[in-house]
């Protein structure tokens, strides 16, 4: 079985990370090294992007029910954090080919209550943000970019805040940690002061993560993953649940208690090592595999839609297709040794007449809110027809081609009658 997602860290780095849980280097030295890589002093090392976003919102003097516009496909914890701060997340729909929002739609959604725009760069690609940035400047809004899925090495962002994640399944993972690049030094200092009042992540907890994901890395190897899949076939639905659950960073109750920790010295040292030794060329193989898979599917059946097919400079962090039979296709691919899935951590920002934006610490579901929030038909369609295919693995080209051939043979393309949503135009 070719596992759906690899843990992008080698045995040597895992060993060093574990040793640093016993004898951690200076946190200040680690932060200096990270700052040198990002060519910026205005950055903050956090436990996760969730933690950094929570810090950012904590330092905003915005009125209750102020609005934040999000590109509408994101992890549910981001709008959840906004609601915790008594803010209203407003989603903007995306087209399936470029995963871009309509500029006209963003303009329509901006009101005097709008305070910020959050842009998530998805699937390893990067959205063009010039026009969105102009809208933000025109209306005096803050612009936040979420690069959690799109790390490619050094970048000098132009937004007010840029967020980079090095969580479990991210490119160049440190098994945790995030970098917040903050243009306003006063804001960065306030966020740092608040974070310093949080309890530190225990080195023991980070060591447990290293051991856990060393095991996950082992069981993700092809022979072991196949054995697990064959075992789980006697427990309907458990294979997909097991594989998806292993990648979760924050689960269960007390979500805000979990994210409100500052990173341990051990995590900072691992993060500094991973960032300073990152080789952008390591993404090239993934890009070649993604392009080969896309070409195979297009040649075999051009009617099958590839998610984000027109993203400029796509790096194929994940590879998605839209089909009429996602569940059946996934099971067929499993039987042929490819760990495809219909499950995703991404969600559309939901619609509901509920006017209460607040979440309790123990709630795990995203509570929708109303106001002017509208349904996101394109995103709803994507999520209901989506299958993710494994490409972030050292698969030979023959296996990539075989997987593409299986998709073209067994996938049922979506049709015009399925697409009862508007095609967004910029």
Least confident residue range of 14-23, 289-298, 341-350: 341-350
* Span 76-83, average pLDDT: 94
Angle at 337 between CA 379 and CA 241, to 5 degrees: 50
pLDDT of residue 104: 94
**What b/e readout covers 360-390, taking b as 16+ CB neighbours within 10 angstroms?**
eeeeeebbbbebebebbebbbbbbebbbbbb
The phi and psi torsions of 287 (rounded to 5 degrees) equal -65, -45
The 3-state DSSP class for residue 121 equals coil
* Span 83-110, average pLDDT: 94
Angle at 89 between CA 84 and CA 94, to 5 degrees: 145
Residue-averaged pLDDT of the chain: 85
Element of type H or E holding 71: strand 67-71
Q: With contact defined as beta carbons under 8 Å apart, do 166 and 213 qualify?
A: no
The two three-digit tokens of residue 44, written as one number: 């903050």
How are strands ordered across the β-sheet holding 67-71? 43-46, 178-182, 161-165, 142-146, 114-120, 67-71, 88-92
Q: Evaluate if residue 75 carries a pLDDT over 70.
A: yes
* Span 405-414, average pLDDT: 96
Q: Evaluate if residue 141 carries a pLDDT over 90.
A: yes
Provide the percentage of residues in the chain whose pLDDT is more than 90.
59
pLDDT in tens, 231-282: 555 455 555 554 555 556 666 678 999 999 999 999 999 999 999 888 888 7
Where residue 29 falls among pLDDT bands split at 50, 70, 90? confident
pLDDT of residue 365: 42
Strand spans (E) along 279-392:
305-306, 319-322, 347-348, 386-389
- Closest by CA to 56, choosing from 131, 153, 159, is 159
Where residue 222 falls among pLDDT bands split at 50, 70, 90? low
Q: Map out the domains of the chain with their CATH numbers.
A: 11-199 (3.40.640.10)
- Helix, strand, coil percentages in the chain from 3-state DSSP, rounded to 5: 40, 15, 45
pLDDT in tens, 352-381: 434 444 444 444 444 333 344 457 899 999
pLDDT of residue 103: 94
pLDDT of residue 394: 79
pLDDT in tens, 143-197: 999 999 888 876 667 789 999 999 998 999 999 999 999 999 999 999 999 999 9
Q: With contact defined as beta carbons under 8 Å apart, do 267 and 179 qualify?
A: no
pTM above 0.85, yes or no: yes
Distance of alpha carbon 331 from alpha carbon 280, whole angstroms: 34
Distance of alpha carbon 52 from alpha carbon 178, whole angstroms: 8
pLDDT of residue 349: 85
Distance of alpha carbon 96 from alpha carbon 125, whole angstroms: 13
The two three-digit tokens of residue 359, written as one number: 């979440």
Residues in the chain: 426
The phi and psi torsions of 259 (rounded to 5 degrees) equal -80, -20
Where residue 410 falls among pLDDT bands split at 50, 70, 90? very high
Angle at 7 between CA 401 and CA 151, to 5 degrees: 85
Measured CA to CA in angstroms, residue 298 lies from 291, 319, 393, 409 at distances of 10, 14, 21, 12
Q: Evaluate if residue 59 carries a pLDDT over 50.
A: yes
pLDDT of residue 356: 42
């Amino acid at each position: 079985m070719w596992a759906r997602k690899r843990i992008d860290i080698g045995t040597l780095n895992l060993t060093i990370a574990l040793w640093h849980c016993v004898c951690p280097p200076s946190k200040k030295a680690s932060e200096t090294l990270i700052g040198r890589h990002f060519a910026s002093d205005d950055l903050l090392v956090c436990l996760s992007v969730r933690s950094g976003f929570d810090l950012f919102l904590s330092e905003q003097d915005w009125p209750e029910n102020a609005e934040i516009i999000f590109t509408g496909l994101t992890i549910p914890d981001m709008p959840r954090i906004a609601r915790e701060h008594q803010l209203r997340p407003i989603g903007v729909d995306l087209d399936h080919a470029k995963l871009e929002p309509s500029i006209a739609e963003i303009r329509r959604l901006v009101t005097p209550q709008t305070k910020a725009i959050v842009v998530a760069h998805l699937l390893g690609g990067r959205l063009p943000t010039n026009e969105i940035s102009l809208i933000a400047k025109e209306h005096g809004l803050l612009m936040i970019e979420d690069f959690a899925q799109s790390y490619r090495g050094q970048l000098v962002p132009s937004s007010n805040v840029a967020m980079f994640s090095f969580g479990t399944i991210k490119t160049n993972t440190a098994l945790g940690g995030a970098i917040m690049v903050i243009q306003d030094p006063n804001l960065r200092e306030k966020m740092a002061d608040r974070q310093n009042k949080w309890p530190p992540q225990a080195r023991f907890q980070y060591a447990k993560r290293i051991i856990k994901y060393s095991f996950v890395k082992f069981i993700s190897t092809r022979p072991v993953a196949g054995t697990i899949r064959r075992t789980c076939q006697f427990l309907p639905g458990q294979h997909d649940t097991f594989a998806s659950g292993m990648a979760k960073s924050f689960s269960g109750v007390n979500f805000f208690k979990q994210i409100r920790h500052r990173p341990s010295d051990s995590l900072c040292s691992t993060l500094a090592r991973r960032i300073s030794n990152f080789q952008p060329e390591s993404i090239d193989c993934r890009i070649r595999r993604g392009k080969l898979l896309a070409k195979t599917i297009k040649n075999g059946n051009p009617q099958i839609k590839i998610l984000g097919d027109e993203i400029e400079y796509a790096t194929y962090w994940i590879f998605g297709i839209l089909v009429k039979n996602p569940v059946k296709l996934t099971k067929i691919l499993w039987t042929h040794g490819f760990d495809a899935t219909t499950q995703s951590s991404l969600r559309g920002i939901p619609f509901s007449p509920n006017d209460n934006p607040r979440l309790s610490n123990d709630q795990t579901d995203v509570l929708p809110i109303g106001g002017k929030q509208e349904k996101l038909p394109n995103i709803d369609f994507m999520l209901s027809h989506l299958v993710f295919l494994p490409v972030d693995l050292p698969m030979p080209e023959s296996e990539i081609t075989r997987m593409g051939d299986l998709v073209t043979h067994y996938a049922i393309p979506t049709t015009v009658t399925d697409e009862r949503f508007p095609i967004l135009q910029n």
